[in-house]
């Protein structure tokens, strides 16, 4: 996980001054959004919680909606 | 800018060097125990694994053929370690208690399964080797006549390890008698619900302990051994599959005119399953072989076409006998190792659907019609035997 | 304000489309569940896909030189358009994370089983970010080399496997019940063929805009041929045991053994899978980055790639609990999940454009 922190810190150090210099607030905003989300997930994962398993949720949801899949595949 | 990029790329490669080749997965050669043969036995409800491990310091290398291994004072070329466990992997891990290196399966040549295991079901014994990415799917699978551990113990006289010798025996034997089967093929054969297959049996002979691999084989149904076939019967199967590359057929000439031995070097075979109007499967086997006469004991004069025709007829008869004996054995064991069921399924899927559940009753009733075509091209350097009239 | 100034050629586009389609199919071998009829299912899938991508080509012909995000905005206005774009971007982002974990799971399972997933994923995403950062022209140029290499490898393996081909494995022909076959065909259409919807973000940069249709169809058709042949090869070599293996095509390469001399090709296969996975993830990451930048009207898409790539890698780690979940997802629900995005969205936008009569005839050319 430390690698991901390194990557995020590197990108922040590299890009934030440029955004400020260019006054590209929209770009900076979306950059910050991704950056913070990635940071949040990294922290979440490195704290050792159970992983959210995104596709499991989609899988269960679609399986409920279309029960015929089990028969076909 | 350019230098920055260089540093980035360099850093990436450095990262790969550190992590990619693996702090976690790096195995240096001197930490590995290279396994050349594995024996799997079952004792009670435990597995007993024998590893034949190459001892690199004992290998002769290319030092002008100086044979220290058999000199008595030299080191052994291989060691056999044994361990027990409730599962195969358990046993593999337990062997670490006695050997100081990491077992490495990539260069394994043969898996020998003990007879006890074969009778109780081989799947638990081979699953680990199918699942793990290290062992090759192309290694030969054999069944030991007694304990698999005993097969791996005797020293090979000319090869460094006896597993290597065993592999070479299979490589040669599969041209004629031995129904050799590798790990992937065993797995494929086990998926056949109604079929059967053969795994060659290896035994140790003599007091010096010599490996011996004739064509006798275990008949397996799913993963259990149900019987045994003799060399002629297993070769009968191989004729039908067209697998013979170098085999000797000894056939008798009529009126006690002696024996003639023919080397067969080309073999084509096909098994056709037709249905009679009543819906009973009928098997037609077509086999074609080409060969040459190698040796003849008798006064028979070969310098005529009718003479050659007679030899051809006798060769065909001998081959036919082997094929019919294979069918006979399959029927008596009720084990479809000729895979007629599968051929039926491939060509008449609807018929097979009706028959599948009662295949055990239908199969012993199936009769085969065998046609053998023989071509003999050469007779060697003698055309007319000196003692012929 | 143009975010991407690069222009790409027809040949390169077709080649990376082939690589993109072959991509994760090389590893996962979809449709082996229907046994010897898997190739029929693949053919049905390709046929379906060839019909469906007609929509994409029409869309691109209506709005030459504009990416899907820009088209959305013009057709549906700022709010509804942005919403549709968000759905699309979510799909390609999520697809990227799935593809990433498909390939790196393979690497983890077969090559370096003890290395933690985080490290493998991190090392896997870095070159993708770098390539996407360099822009479209670089991706296509790299892709060309990699795809040509892949096709060479493909031919080589085809040749080496000849001795284990068993044509009886194709029999019996078409015994799978029709609903099952149709479902397998639908699955095949959505994975891999309709994943090419991401090229709605890339084809606008083709240097000959009148050749877009040619590019789409050539890429899809040849990519489909490669996939169908790879599935047929699998059936020829492994027969109905293909379902028994996690990575059947890798297994089929492992059993190559020609005269004890030509064997152990699996590392070549593994290298190939990694390369082709890199290409696919790069294309998806690039499209996602460019799409987000266009959506938010940023001045540059490149700074977004690092956090977006990190996010993709992190999401990919949170996709599946184990490799079995991955297979369940891919074979059972993926098509239902993906079809609304990959076939539904372009269709919706095309209908919208048609109803609103866009683009106006005056503005054209």
Domains parsed from chain B with CATH numbers: 30-60+68-229 (no CATH), 232-389 (3.30.300.210)
Residue B290: its pLDDT value, please? 92
pLDDT at B229 over 50: yes
pLDDT at B288 over 90: yes
Of the candidates B19, B191, B343, the beta carbon closest to that of C244 is on: B191
Cβ within 8 Å, pair C251-B346: no
Lowest mean per-residue pLDDT among B53-62, B281-290, C133-142: B53-62
Residues of A in contact with C292 (CB under 8 A): 30
Residue B362: its pLDDT value, please? 86
Residues of B in contact with C115 (CB under 8 A): 19, 22-25
Residue C364: its pLDDT value, please? 44
Lowest mean per-residue pLDDT among A17-31, B127-141, B350-364: A17-31
pLDDT band at B67 (very low <50, low <70, confident <90, very high): very low
Residue B24: its pLDDT value, please? 66
pLDDT band at B60 (very low <50, low <70, confident <90, very high): low
The larger pLDDT score, comparing residue B91 to residue C243, is at: B91
Residues of C in contact with B182 (CB under 8 A): 255
Whether the CB of B184 is below 8 Å from some CB of chain C: the reply is yes
Residues of C in contact with A30 (CB under 8 A): 292-293, 296, 298, 304
Cβ within 8 Å, pair C319-A24: no
Over residues C195-219, mean pLDDT: 87
pLDDT at A51 over 60: yes
pLDDT band at C2 (very low <50, low <70, confident <90, very high): low
Calculate how close chain C gets to A70, using CA atoms only, in Å: 7
Of the candidates C123, C257, C263, the beta carbon closest to that of B20 is on: C123
Whether the CB of B345 is below 8 Å from some CB of chain C: the reply is yes
Residue B310: its pLDDT value, please? 87
Inter-residue contact B115 to B220 (CB < 8 Å): no
Residue B62: its pLDDT value, please? 46
Whether the CB of C207 is below 8 Å from some CB of chain B: the reply is no
Over residues B271-291, mean pLDDT: 87
Residue C225: its pLDDT value, please? 92
* Long-range contact pairs involving C327-330 (C-beta distance under 8 Å, separation at least 24): C327/C28, C327/C246, C328/A59, C329/A55, C329/A58, C329/A59, C329/C98, C330/C28, C330/C30, C330/C102, C330/C191
CB pairs under 8 A between B and C: 58
pLDDT at B23 over 70: no
pLDDT at B220 over 60: yes
Cβ within 8 Å, pair C308-A72: no
Over residues C74-100, mean pLDDT: 89
Cβ within 8 Å, pair C98-A55: yes
**Residue B45 belongs to what H/E stretch?**
none
Residue B371: its pLDDT value, please? 92
pLDDT band at B201 (very low <50, low <70, confident <90, very high): very high
**Highest averaged pLDDT of the listed ranges A25-34, B296-305, B308-317:** B308-317
Residue B19: its pLDDT value, please? 62
What domains, with CATH codes, occur in chain C?
10-346 (1.20.1740.10)
Q: Rounded distance, CA C101 to CA C314, Å?
A: 10
How many residues would you count in chain A? Answer: 73
pLDDT band at C102 (very low <50, low <70, confident <90, very high): confident
Whether the CB of B12 is below 8 Å from some CB of chain C: the reply is yes
CA separation (Å) from C347 to B168, B381, C284? 63, 80, 21
The larger pLDDT score, comparing residue B236 to residue C174, is at: B236
pLDDT at B316 over 60: yes
Inter-residue contact A73 to C187 (CB < 8 Å): yes
Over residues B90-101, mean pLDDT: 87
Residue B69: its pLDDT value, please? 42
Inter-residue contact B141 to B126 (CB < 8 Å): yes
C163 token code pair: 């001795």
Residue B73: its pLDDT value, please? 44
Q: What percent of chain B has pLDDT over 90?
A: 13
C-alpha count within 13 angstroms, C-beta hemisphere, residue C335: 23
Residue B26: its pLDDT value, please? 67
Determine the residue of chain C that is closest to A36 in CA distance: C307
Q: Find chains touching chain A: ≥3 CB pairs under 8 Å.
A: C
Calculate how close chain C gets to B317, using CA atoms only, in Å: 29
ipTM of the prediction greater than 0.90, yes or no: no
pLDDT at A31 over 90: no
Over residues B209-234, mean pLDDT: 88
pLDDT at A25 over 50: yes
Q: Find chains touching chain C: ≥3 CB pairs under 8 Å.
A: A, B
Q: Rounded distance, CA C3 to CA C291, Å?
A: 10
pLDDT band at B374 (very low <50, low <70, confident <90, very high): very high
pLDDT band at C365 (very low <50, low <70, confident <90, very high): very low
Cβ within 8 Å, pair A38-C310: yes
Residue B65: its pLDDT value, please? 43
Residues of C in contact with A56 (CB under 8 A): 320-321, 325
Determine the residue of chain C that is closest to B351 in CA distance: C172
Instruction: Output the average pLDDT for chain B.
Output: 84
Interval B143-189: pLDDT, tens: 988 888 888 888 877 778 888 888 988 988 888 889 999 898 899 89
Whether the CB of B292 is below 8 Å from some CB of chain C: the reply is no
Residue C120: its pLDDT value, please? 84
Look at residues C205, C192, C8, C169 and name the one whose alpha carbon lies nearest to residue C95: C192
């Amino acid at each position: 996980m430390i690698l991901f922190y390194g990557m995020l810190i590197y990108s922040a150090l590299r890009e934030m001054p440029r955004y400020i210099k260019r006054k590209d607030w929209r770009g900076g905003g979306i950059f910050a959004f991704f950056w913070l989300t990635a940071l949040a997930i990294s922290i979440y994962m490195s704290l050792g919680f159970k992983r959210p398993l995104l596709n499991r949720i989609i899988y269960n949801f679609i399986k409920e909606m279309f029960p015929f899949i089990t028969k076909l595949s | 800018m350019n230098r920055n990029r260089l540093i980035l790329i360099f850093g990436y490669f450095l990262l790969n060097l550190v992590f990619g080749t693996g702090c976690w997965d790096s195995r240096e050669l001197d930490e590995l125990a290279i396994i050349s043969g594995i024996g799997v036995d079952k004792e009670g409800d435990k597995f007993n694994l024998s590893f034949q491990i190459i001892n690199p310091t004992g290998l002769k290398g290319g030092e002008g053929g100086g044979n220290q291994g058999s000199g008595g004072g030299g080191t052994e070329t291989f060691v056999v370690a044994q361990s027990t466990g409730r599962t195969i992997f358990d046993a593999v891990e337990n062997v670490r208690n006695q050997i100081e290196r990491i077992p490495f399966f990539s260069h394994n040549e043969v898996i020998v399964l003990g007879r006890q295991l074969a009778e109780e079901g081989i799947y638990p014994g081979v699953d680990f080797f199918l699942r793990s990415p290290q062992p090759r799917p192309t290694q030969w699978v054999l069944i030991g006549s007694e304990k698999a551990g005993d097969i791996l113990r005797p020293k090979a006289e000319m090869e460094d390890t006896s597993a290597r010798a065993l592999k070479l025996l299979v490589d040669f034997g599969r041209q004629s008698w031995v129904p050799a089967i590798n790990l992937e093929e065993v797995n494929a054969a086990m998926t056949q619900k109604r079929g059967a297959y053969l795994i060659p049996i290896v035994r140790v002979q003599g007091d010096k302990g010599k490996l011996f691999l004739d064509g006798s084989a275990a008949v397996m149904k799913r993963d259990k051994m149900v019987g045994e076939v003799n060399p002629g019967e297993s070769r009968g199967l191989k004729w039908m599959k067209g697998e013979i590359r170098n085999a000797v057929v000894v056939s008798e000439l009529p009126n006690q005119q002696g024996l003639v031995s023919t080397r067969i070097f080309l073999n084509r075979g096909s098994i056709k399953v037709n249905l009679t109007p009543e819906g009973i499967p009928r098997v037609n086997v077509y086999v074609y072989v080409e060969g040459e006469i190698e040796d003849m004991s008798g006064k028979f004069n070969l310098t005529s076409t009718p003479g050659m025709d007679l030899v051809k007829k006798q060769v065909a008869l001998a081959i036919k006998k082997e094929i019919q004996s294979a069918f006979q054995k399959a029927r008596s064991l009720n084990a479809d190792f000729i895979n007629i069921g599968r051929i039926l399924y491939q060509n008449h899927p609807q018929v097979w659907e009706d028959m599948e559940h009662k295949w055990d009753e239908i199969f012993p009733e199936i009769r085969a019609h065998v046609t053998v075509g023989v071509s003999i091209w050469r007779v060697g350097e003698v055309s007319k035997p000196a003692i012929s009239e | 304000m143009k975010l991407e100034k690069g222009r790409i050629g027809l040949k390169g586009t077709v080649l990376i489309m082939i690589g993109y389609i072959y991509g994760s199919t090389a590893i996962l071998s979809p449709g082996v569940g229907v046994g010897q009829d898997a190739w029929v299912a693949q053919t049905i899938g390709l046929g379906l896909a060839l019909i469906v991508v007609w929509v994409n080509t029409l869309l691109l012909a209506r709005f030459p030189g504009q990416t899907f995000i820009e088209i959305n905005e013009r057709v549906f206005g700022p709010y509804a358009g942005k919403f549709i774009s968000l759905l699309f971007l979510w799909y390609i982002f999520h697809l990227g994370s799935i593809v990433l974990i498909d390939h790196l799971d393979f690497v983890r399972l077969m090559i370096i089983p003890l290395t933690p997933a985080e490290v493998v994923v991190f090392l896997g995403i870095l070159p993708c970010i770098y390539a996407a950062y360099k822009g479209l022209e670089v991706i296509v140029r790299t892709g060309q080399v990699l795809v040509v290499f892949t096709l060479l490898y493909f031919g080589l393996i085809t040749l080496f496997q000849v001795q284990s081909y068993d044509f009886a494995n194709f029999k019996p022909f078409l015994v799978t019940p029709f609903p099952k076959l149709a479902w397998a065909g639908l699955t095949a259409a959505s994975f891999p063929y309709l994943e090419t919807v991401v090229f709605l973000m890339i084809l606008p940069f083709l240097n000959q805009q009148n050749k877009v249709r040619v590019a789409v169809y050539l890429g899809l058709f040849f990519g489909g041929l490669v996939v169908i042949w790879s599935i047929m090869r699998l059936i020829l070599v492994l027969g109905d045991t293909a379902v028994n293996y996690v990575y059947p095509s890798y297994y089929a390469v492992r059993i190559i053994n020609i005269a004890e001399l030509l064997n152990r090709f699996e590392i070549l296969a593994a290298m190939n899978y990694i390369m082709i996975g890199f290409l696919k993830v790069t294309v998806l990451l690039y499209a996602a980055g460019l799409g987000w930048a266009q959506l938010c009207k940023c001045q540059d898409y490149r700074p977004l790639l690092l956090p977006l790539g990190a996010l993709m890698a992190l999401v990919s780690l949170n996709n599946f609990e184990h490799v079995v979940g991955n297979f369940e997802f891919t074979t059972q629900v993926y098509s239902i999940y993906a079809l609304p995005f990959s076939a539904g969205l372009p269709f919706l936008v095309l209908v919208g454009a048609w109803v609103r009569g866009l683009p106006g005839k005056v503005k054209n050319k």
